[in-house]
Structure 1
Amino acid sequence: NRFAITSQSGGGLITLALPLDYKQERQYVLTVTASDGTRFDTVQVFINVTDANTHRPVFQSSHYTVSVSEDKPIGTSIVTISATDEDTGENARITYILDDNIPQFRIDPDTG
């Protein structure tokens, strides 16, 4: 079992006995019994496993080179930069940021 339970200050302390893997199991349902020797009660404990942010975003290309004519109007799309992330859910959400403060360029934070 992935979990262990010990009595701790009048309560039961549930601890991890084995590592969790979100991709294998997203929820565990444990049945815990409390007993005074003659009588008992049981309760179900639902443990939801959340995905760790284990992967970094990776750009589809190691570099991008673009030529643009100086007479292009403001707002002209120059290039779409794209990255992917192998995580799931919120951990796979990528935000794009220009590190250089060059006023002639901007990037859409959601689409690149």
Structure 2
Amino acid sequence: MTKKSLNTLHFEFKAEQLKEPIDIDFHFGVVGSGDMEVLIHPKKNSNKAEFKVVTPVTGFEHVWEKVLQKFVNESGVHDVLFEINDNNATPAVVSLRLYQSIGELAAAGKEGE
């Protein structure tokens, strides 16, 4: 019997137009059936968005790359590391969770002011 292990993917992107950098650690979501969690860590002066994706799914690196690149270009995130723990989320859910995570992060920052 072959054991199935998790697949770890790494991506780096530069946004076409940069927004304010992320400056606090943040956690959003829960790993569950068909869902994912996002951990956000600032990376000062990296001038790029890095992603570490841990997923049980193999063979979809090109899909992850397209979804993440689109997110970076649209959101303008940079100087940041996103750790994504995936449990079979669809590309639409991945995109939704990423946008929700930066939205919640922005709201949390405003509460702290």
TM interval, shorter chain, is under 0.3
Structure having the larger proportion of residues in helix:
2
Task: Please say which structure displays the higher CA radius of gyration.
Answer: 1
Q: TM-score w.r.t. structure 1 length?
A: 0.24
Q: TM-score w.r.t. structure 2 length?
A: 0.23
